[in-house]
Amino acid sequence: MFDPGIGLSEVYMVAGMALVTFGIRYIMFPLSGRFRFPNLFARGLRYVPPVVLSAIIVPSVLMPDGQALNLKLSNPYLIGALAACVIGGLFKNLLLTIVVSMAVFLGVQWCFALG
């Protein structure tokens, strides 16, 4: 299974990333008995998942090349995201949202690849 071609710096990279990521996810549990979060902080935490995900979504949709805003209707990421918002808002069904918006995205991308 393991490629003998894996380099030493790759081992450091994977190990470092794994330790850092696990540390971030775990650190609050051993700390939690020692102090209490202020009430405002605890209330703020409820906003974290939608807010973080939005901050990932918006640039990836409006700046697909990572450089410039692309608000044109020829931007398949934008059209796909609008489709996801409409379907998600109407039906509140995650699987349907993903499948339909992926289809819209690939359709738009295919159309503009042809034209």
Partner 1 sequence: MSQSVTHFSQGRLSMFFEGAKDTFPLIVGAIPFGIIFGTLAATAGISFGATIGLSMFVFAGASQFVCVGLVAAGTAWPMIVLTTFVVNLRHMLYGATMVPFYKNLNPLWKIVLSFGLTDETFAVAVSRYSRRDGALDKHYYNLGSMVFMYLNWNLCTIIGLTAGKAFPEISQWGLDFAMPATFIGIVIPYLVSKPMWASVLTAGTVSIMASGLPHKLGLMVAALAGVAAGLAWELFVSVKKEVVQDV
CA 35/CA 55 separation, integer angstroms: 29
* Interaction of residue 111 with partner 1, rule CB under 8 A: no
CA 20/CA 115 separation, integer angstroms: 46
Q: CA angle at residue 107 from 101 to 112, to 5 degrees?
A: 130
Cβ proximity of 77 and 64 under 8 Å: yes
- Contact positions with partner 1 (CB under 8 A) in 40-69: 40, 43-63, 69
Q: How far is the CB of 111 from partner 1 (least distance, A)?
A: 13
Answer for which of 65, 92, 114, 115 binds partner 1 (CB under 8 A) is: 92
The two structure tokens encoding residue 66:
């990572």
CA 13/CA 4 separation, integer angstroms: 16
Q: By rule CB under 8 A, what count of residues binds partner 1?
A: 70
Q: How far is the CB of 64 from partner 1 (least distance, A)?
A: 9
Name the residues that contact partner 1, by CB under 8 A: 1-7, 9-18, 20-22, 24-29, 32, 37, 40, 43-63, 69, 76-77, 80-81, 84-85, 88-89, 92, 94-95, 97-99, 101-102, 105-106, 109
